[in-house]
Structure 1
Amino acid sequence: MSSASAESAAERVYREVKAQILTNEIVGGELISEGEVATKCDVSRTPVREAFLRLEAEGWMRLYPKRGALVVPVADREAHDVVEARILLEEHAVRSVAEDAAGRADLAARLERNLAAHQAADPGDIAEFSRIDAEFHQLIVAAGDNQLLADFFVGLGERHRRMTTTSVRRDDTVAARILADHRELLTAVARGDAAAFTAALSAHLASVHDLGRPS
């Protein structure tokens, strides 16, 4: 196998395994082997090993020689930290457009289109449902017109998606709750009511992700 093809195979394995982690097809706490993944992806073990090392570096896995790779579950502390960061970033964005009628109207229109797509999506397609959910919140942060914060929020997006897929799989009422909560958040954005938005967002994230006290 050439160097280029080996790199391509490792990239493909990385993307496929990571997608399965983010959508909880491979659940946190599960131990998977190089051989198992190599067989499923129809590649040798070498690109699988490279993909696993990359996933370990990003914090998605812990590797145990001769045993396999443990998919790191979402810890309570991590979930609380992600939610806290999201609230700070989204509140900042909504406050920044609250006094800008045109910007507020544009954001509300974008969120309305996202919500329509979300309502039309099949909740059973958890990968697509969680993607549209993440996009709703990314639209809000992007409206804050601060590229550094927007880029940071995108970095949270994968953890956000994984938490959402975990919640939707855990409780079949969560999908409908997300849609109802997004409607409430959209209404607060359209009114320019940053305080109401922040209160609704805090309640939304705590409820959807079933957050108690961080450990």
Structure 2
Amino acid sequence: MPSAPAVPNAPAADSAKLPPAADRVYSHLKEGVLERRYEGGTLLTEGELAEAVGVSRTPVREALLKLEVEGLIKLYPKKGALVLAVSAQEIADVVETRLLVEEFAVRKAVPASARLVERLEVLLDEQRMRAGEGDLAAVSVSDRCFHAEIVRNAGNQILSKLYDQLRDRQLRMGVAVMEAHPDRIAANITEHGELLDAIRAGDADSAAACVRRHVGRVQVLVRGEVR
């Protein structure tokens, strides 16, 4: 039986679904930086990144420019892109901002709606599951989402947008702490549980105290992991 003729110039199904090349490079490199596969001080070349993602150098340049604007890398002409390390000043700034925003937000969010309590319970369960899988990047994401949900429910959109600007820095610092202090994974989950209990009980003062203790401990640990 003769085989069916090939359809000329038929695009592959998978290739039609691929995002633009620059977006693929951007996602690859940003995830690598946030998950610390590319640590601070690493010098990357356009050729290395092009080969890793399977694209030409033109979209690599486009992605690198975007990441430089976001403060994750520094471009050096004819040399490459340097992954910027987290500085002590950056840690201090992030933690100070988190304390100001999160303590205010949790007071505004209490008494909490049933929807917020349910959402926090789901996120805490997800964090436990990711911890059991040993996926530190996913644990960091669910950890950050737990805090962001409280901020969103404070009812201040400007504050929520400000907090969202800290996302990348929070994720990167979170992975650094868990890599260096694996015991903090269980401790974070316990502290989140205590915070959720205070929110569920409608105790704004206790919830605010939980935030201060939790974020303060993170500050001490991350300072010791700057590199």
Please give the range of the TM-score, normalised by the shorter of the 2 chains: 0.7 to 0.9
Note the C-alpha offset of 1:47.
0.9
| 1:117 maps onto 2:126 in alignment | yes
Contact kept in structure 2, 1:38 and 1:44, CA below 8 Å:
yes
| 1:24 maps onto 2:24 in alignment | no
The code of the aligned residue for 1:161 comes to L
Q: Distance in 1 between matches of 2:214 and 2:46?
A: 39
Count of residue pairs brought into register by the alignment = 204
Contact kept in structure 2, 1:104 and 1:189, CA below 8 Å:
no
Alpha-carbon spacing, 1:11–1:212, altered in 2? closer, same or farther (3 Å): closer
Q: Which protein has the larger Cα radius of gyration, Structure 1 or Structure 2?
A: 2
1:51-90 maps to which residues of 2 (within 5 A)? 51-90=63-102
Deviations 1:3-58 (A, max 9, x none): xxxx9111110111001111111111111111111111111111111111111111
TM-score (norm 1): 0.87
| 1:91 maps onto 2:100 in alignment | no
**3-state SS in 2 of match to 1:28:** coil
Give the CA RMSD over aligned residues: 1.9
Contact kept in structure 1, 2:101 and 2:151, CA below 8 Å:
yes
| Segment drifting more, 157-166 vs 193-202 | 193-202
**3-state SS in 2 of match to 1:128:** helix
Contact kept in structure 2, 1:177 and 1:208, CA below 8 Å:
no
TM-score (norm 2): 0.83
| 1:141 maps onto 2:169 in alignment | no
Note the C-alpha offset of 1:104.
4.2
**3-state SS in 2 of match to 1:24:** coil
Note the C-alpha offset of 1:212.
5.4
| 1:205 maps onto 2:218 in alignment | no
Deviations 1:102-152 (A, max 9, x none): x34432222112111111124521221111111101110011011111122
In percent, how many aligned pairs have the same letter?
A: 41
Contact kept in structure 2, 1:114 and 1:132, CA below 8 Å:
yes
The code of the aligned residue for 1:170 comes to A
Contact kept in structure 2, 1:90 and 1:137, CA below 8 Å:
yes
Contact kept in structure 2, 1:14 and 1:52, CA below 8 Å:
yes
Q: Tell me which stretches of 4 or more aligned residues in structure 1 moved more than 6 Å.
A: none
